[in-house]
Amino acid sequence: MNQLLYSKLSSLFKVESSLTTSIGQIQLDRPVMLASGILGISLDVFNRLYRSGVGAVVTKSLSTEPWEGYPNPTIFSVKGGGWINAVGLSNPGAPNFAKMIEPNQEVPIVISLVGSIPEDFEMMIKQFENCKITAYELNLSCPHVAKVGLEVGDDPELVRKIVTIAKNTTDVPIIAKVGLGTTHYLNTVSTAIDSGIDAITAINTIRAMAIDVETQRPILSNKFGGLSGTPIKPIALRCVYEISSKHDIPIIGCGGVSAWEDAVEFFLAGASAIQIGSAVGDNWIDVFNEINNGILQYMKRKNYSSIKDMVGLAKKS
């Protein structure tokens, strides 16, 4: 349609803009989610984050048993932007965590799970039978812990079994979080879709490291960690675009979102929601409402009534 005509018509029929979004069956009031691994440890903090504008909280990745994670240093701020972390998936374990969040009714919680074998995921999902859960996110992409995360995501047979067992264990939607491993992430996405996955989160941090030149040693205690933040945004955006070009699957964009423009880029590339992690370290939790407001202003300006009006628009040309 003629742009001028369109804008004139739009101003005649001004729509009410809303931040609500759907990721398949998952309904959220706001499209900005807290990424896994960030702050996701106590219900009090979840409530605070919800008041601060997150549409859903994704928990730290939970394992069958409590994990202490790696010794410090576990995080490194990269000159030029971004963070490298190797926290090592420290978490209280799914059973303890389920008990903690049982009272929750208000906050939409996405439970992130990490495990080595399909039965781990079955056992963990069963822990949450008495909890109000928005979705599960399978961590198939953490790049710095052995035998889980990316090492699992790189094994198509394991991915197929894990997604299948998760789908058979619960009716709650299951999301797979993919990353850049040795198996092409588009193949992992295909495997997950063929096994019945409900949505994809793309991407996780990218395996990286930092060396101190004075003391001449790797800084992180684990040597390797995952790079997050603004440097990985263009890569994450490319992945979302590629997935949405190839598959008809709801996508959550994750990687380097620090401003509303970044979020909108992900929507235009095909994401229905986005996750934020590193920007919390830079801008603290005000970042959620700042981005929500920026998205809303953009929607009003473009006369969009909901997020889905702009999902994938960049693919039209």
Partner 1 sequence: MQRNHNHTTIVTIEKVIDETPTVRTLVFSDNVMSNVLPGQFAMVWIPGINELPMSVMISKEPGKAAFTVRKHGPASTGLFNVKEGQQIGIRGPYGNSFDLKEGKLLLVGGGTGLVPMIRLLSFVKPADDVTVLIGAKSKDEVFFEDLANNMLENNPHKVIVSTDDGSYGEKGFVTDLVEKLVNESHFDGVYACGPEIMMYKTMQSAHSRNMFVQASLERMMKCGVGICGSCCVGEDLVCRDGTVFDGDHLSSNKEFGHFYRNKAGILEKY
Q: Which residues bind partner 1 (CB under 8 A)?
A: 37-42, 44-45, 47-48, 60, 66-69, 71-77, 79, 83, 85, 87, 90-93, 96, 212, 214-215, 217, 219, 221, 277-278, 280-281, 284-285
Nearest to 150 by CA among 86, 101, 92, 211: 86
| Interatomic CA distance for residues 268 and 265, integer angstroms | 5
Nearer to partner 1 by Cβ, of 12 and 146: the residue is 146
Which residue's entry shows tokens 């812990």?
A: 145
Q: Please say whether the beta carbons of 229 and 35 come within 8 A.
A: no
- First vs last C-alpha separation in the chain: 14
Nearer to partner 1 by Cβ, of 263 and 285: the residue is 285
DSSP-based three-state secondary structure for 6: helix
Query: To 10 degrees, the CA torsion angle through 134, 193, 253, 10?
Result: -90
Q: Which of 131, 142, 239, 254 is catalytic?
A: 142
Closest distance to partner 1 from the beta carbon of 93 (Å): 7
Output the CA torsion sign for 87, 93, 99, 104.
Answer: positive
Nearest to 310 by CA among 257, 272, 262, 280: 272
Residue 254 known to be catalytic: no
Output the CA torsion sign for 29, 286, 240, 269.
Answer: positive
DSSP-based three-state secondary structure for 200: strand
| Interatomic CA distance for residues 304 and 286, integer angstroms | 24
Distances (CA, A) of 185 to 150, 153, 191, 271, 283: 10, 9, 10, 16, 30
What is the set of active-site residues? Answer: 142
